[in-house]
């Protein structure tokens, strides 16, 4: 007999098991929508098995990595779940990454198969990058390109799938602690690190989101979720795709985010739940298309990753739909704290809701002791949302984990009298631009590869649109004076666009601390003085 989770979904181990379950109990229910493509649960399940056969026929063994460079589209869901069925590990690559970033990740996780789009809707072509990667990737057995392209590199997805037809599928058994996905996050040390997630990490998010819906069953019946975040992001995998599939709902893919296109899809596909990072919602509510948007199907809007401005929350509230927000992180669970079904504008704008009670949560002071009641401290987490560690990087895992198995999140918070968490900052100098994490050190390292730059410092500055953006300060080598426009172009060839600082100042030297590090505090002070003086 099926055991059920709080929130009504069956208690199963892997995301792919939910597809099989709904294929049995509701085979003709719609599962996946993308343009003209529509798959019901039976067809979705069949597509996953076909892909699993192809992966095994290509030589993928349990524990092997399957890397995917893709926009949000059905093949992402099919390949991810096929990888789960045969015990592999799926790795997402962002289509905004430039070649050096892609190379680093492929080098680090050494995939057996690389599956990629050939172009993005914005027109970026990947053939040259794929050729360069394929030329020196160790252990890579196949490069596969998705439809809507004429591949010169590797084989087409359809040929890849056909090669597996007739292969006897040997499904892998899996437990909740087995690894399933690597999500690359940038790090304070500069190079992106792979956070290794177990099946339980992906299911955990569903359970947390269910708390936001508690007692409002009408919100989750007939769920249709708009999925328009990059698939390498935990929010796309867990909060969008995972949430829809675990509840037996439909996931409607949009390859790129644009406000008018999102409104159009919401109306056409009768979306019941959408959301993302606040910068996306800001853009939607500020767009002229909002005035005529048909949002009559929408029952709930959710956001996370960064705080939403009170005015945005107020405007969304006027729609009369259920609003929810949450706090989470790749390494500790996509949703760790969540607002409740009856929270008001103040709760939604000021807090990230109540922490989940199934795992252990602490707010600790600098000595690792529980912070006194009402004091701020760092959030430490233990329990089912916490990741397995960084891929191939025990040193980084050791830094992230405190004694006793606690994950140090780096996030500073305080508990309100009613127990809701209020976030107030981060320990490291990571900042959030448009919902993406940006680590200044990663950008500084790239800047310091420039032949005219001696050293560089990047700091975050507040931005009305993206929440935070980078500001770069450059110390030029003696006798050199690189132009900011030229440095900008240099960065754009090497880093995803959201990491590129919005302002670049070139100087002969930067203020230094006695220990020889750039005095970022002084730079922040300078920016503030300039702002105040304007
Ligand atoms: P990621 O691993 O990309 O999901 O980013 C996680 C980080 O985003 C957290 O460690 C926080 O610093 C930040 N974050 C997540 N949710 C929120 C939120 N609701 N408000 C403010 N910051 C958030």
Q: Which of residues 210 and 269 earns the better pLDDT score?
A: 269
Does the pLDDT value for residue 218 go beyond 80?
no
Q: Do the beta carbons of residue 183 and residue 194 sit within 8 Å?
A: yes
Which among 343, 423, 430, 436 is the best mutation to test ligand 1's pocket, defined by most ligand atoms within 8 Å of the CB?
423
With a cut of 80, say whether residue 464 has pLDDT above it. Answer: yes
Task: Pick the more confident residue, 46 or 426.
Answer: 46
pLDDT at 438 over 60: yes
DSSP 8-state secondary structure symbol assigned to residue 248: T
The pLDDT of residue 265 is: 98
Integer Cα distance of 137 and 106 in angstroms: 7
Write down how long the chain is: 534
Looking at residue 430, what is its pLDDT? 82
> Residue 97: which pLDDT band, with cuts at 50, 70 and 90?
very high
Taking only the tens place, the pLDDT of each residue in 352-408 is 999 977 778 999 988 889 988 788 899 999 999 999 999 999 999 999 999 999 999
Judged against a pLDDT cut of 70, whether residue 344 lies above it is answered with yes
Cβ neighbours for 193, distance < 8 A, ≥ 6 positions apart: 184, 185, 186, 187, 390, 391, 393, 396
Evaluate if residue 1 carries a pLDDT over 70. Answer: no
Phi–psi pair at 310, nearest 5 degrees:
-55, -40
pLDDT at 184: 95
The verdict on the CB of residue 437 being under 6 Å from ligand 1 is yes
Cβ of residue 379 lying under 6 Å from some atom of ligand 1: no
Q: What is the pLDDT of residues 442-463, one digit of tens each?
A: 898 899 889 999 888 999 999 9
Q: Is the pTM of this model over 0.75?
A: yes
343 pLDDT above the threshold of 60: yes
DSSP 169: P
C-alpha 304 – ligand 1 centre gap (Å): 7
* CA 323–ligand 1 middle distance (angstroms): 18
Q: What does the buried/exposed string (b/e) look like for 502-523 if buried means 16 or more CB atoms within 10 Å of the residue's CB?
A: eebebeeebeeeeeeebebeeb
CA of 504 to the centre of ligand 1 (A): 26
351 CB under 6 A from ligand 1? no
What is the pLDDT averaged over residues 249-264? 96
What is the CA(331)–ligand 1 centre distance, in A?
11
Residues 6+ apart with CB under 8 A from 92: 67, 68, 70, 76, 181, 183, 184, 230, 231, 232, 233, 236, 237
Ligand 1 in contact with 423 (CB < 6 A)? yes
- Is the pLDDT score of 529 beyond 80? no
pLDDT at 279: 82
Residue identifier of the C-alpha nearest atom 7 of ligand 1: 329
Q: Report how far ligand 1's centroid is from the alpha carbon of 379 (Å).
A: 12
Q: Confirm or reject: Cβ of 433 under 6 Å from ligand 1.
A: no
H-only helix segments in 242-277: 243-246, 259-268
């Amino acid at each position: 007999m099926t055991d059920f989770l709080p929130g009504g979904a069956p208690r199963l181990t892997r995301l792919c098991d939910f597809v099989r379950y709904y294929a049995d109990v509701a085979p003709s229910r719609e599962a996946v929508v993308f343009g003209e493509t529509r798959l019901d649960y039976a067809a979705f399940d069949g597509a996953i098995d076909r892909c699993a056969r192809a992966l095994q026929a290509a030589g993928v063994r349990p524990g092997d990595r399957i890397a995917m460079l893709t926009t949000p589209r059905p093949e992402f869901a099919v390949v991810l779940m096929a990888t789960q069925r045969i015990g592999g590990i799926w790795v997402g690559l962002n289509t905004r990454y430039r070649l050096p970033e892609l190379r680093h990740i492929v080098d680090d996780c050494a995939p057996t198969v690389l599956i990629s789009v050939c172009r993005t809707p914005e027109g970026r072509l990947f053939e040259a990058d794929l050729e360069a990667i394929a030329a020196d990737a160790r252990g890579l057995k196949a490069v596969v390109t998705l439809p809507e392209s004429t591949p010169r590199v590797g084989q087409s997805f359809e040929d890849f799938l056909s090669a597996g037809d007739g292969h006897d599928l040997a499904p892998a058994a899996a437990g909740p602690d087995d690894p399933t996905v690597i999500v690359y996050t940038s790090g304070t040390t500069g190079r992106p690190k792979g956070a290794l997630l177990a099946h339980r990490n992906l299911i955990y998010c569903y359970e947390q989101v269910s708390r936001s819906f508690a007692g409002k069953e009408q919100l989750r019946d007939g769920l249709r979720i708009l999925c328009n975040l990059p698939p390498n992001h935990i929010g796309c995998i867990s909060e969008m795709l995972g949430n829809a599939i675990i509840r037996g709902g439909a996931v409607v893919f949009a390859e790129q985010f644009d406000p008018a296109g999102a409104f159009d899809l919401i109306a056409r596909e009768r979306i019941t739940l959408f959301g993302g990072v606040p910068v996306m919602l800001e853009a939607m509510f500020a767009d002229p298309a909002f005035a005529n948007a048909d949002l009559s199907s929408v029952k709930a809007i959710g956001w996370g990753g960064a705080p939403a401005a009170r005015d945005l929350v107020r405007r969304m509230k006027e729609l009369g739909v259920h609003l929810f927000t949450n706090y989470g992180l790749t390494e500790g669970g996509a949703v760790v704290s969540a607002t409740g079904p009856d929270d008001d504008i103040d709760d939604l704008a000021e807090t990230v809701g109540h922490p989940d009670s199934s795992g252990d949560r602490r707010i600790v002071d600098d000595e690792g002791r529980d912070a006194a009641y009402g004091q701020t401290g760092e959030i430490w987490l233990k329990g089912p949302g916490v990741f397995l560690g960084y891929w191939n990087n025990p040193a980084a895992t050791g830094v992230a984990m405190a004694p006793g198995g606690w994950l140090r999140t780096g996030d500073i918070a305080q508990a309100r009298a009613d127990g809701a968490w209020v976030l107030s900052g981060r320990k490291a100098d990571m900042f959030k631009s448009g919902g993406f994490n940006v680590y200044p050190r990663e950008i500084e390292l790239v800047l310091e590869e420039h032949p005219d730059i001696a050293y560089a410092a990047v700091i975050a500055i507040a931005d009305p649109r993206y929440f935070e953006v980078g500001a770069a300060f450059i110390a030029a080598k003696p006798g050199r004076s690189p132009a900011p426009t030229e440095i900008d172009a240099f960065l754009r060839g090497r880093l995803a666009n959201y990491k590129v600082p919005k302002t670049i100042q070139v100087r002969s030297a930067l203020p230094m601390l006695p220990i020889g590090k750039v005095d970022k505090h002084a730079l922040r002070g300078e920016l503030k003085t300039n702002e105040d003086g304007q």
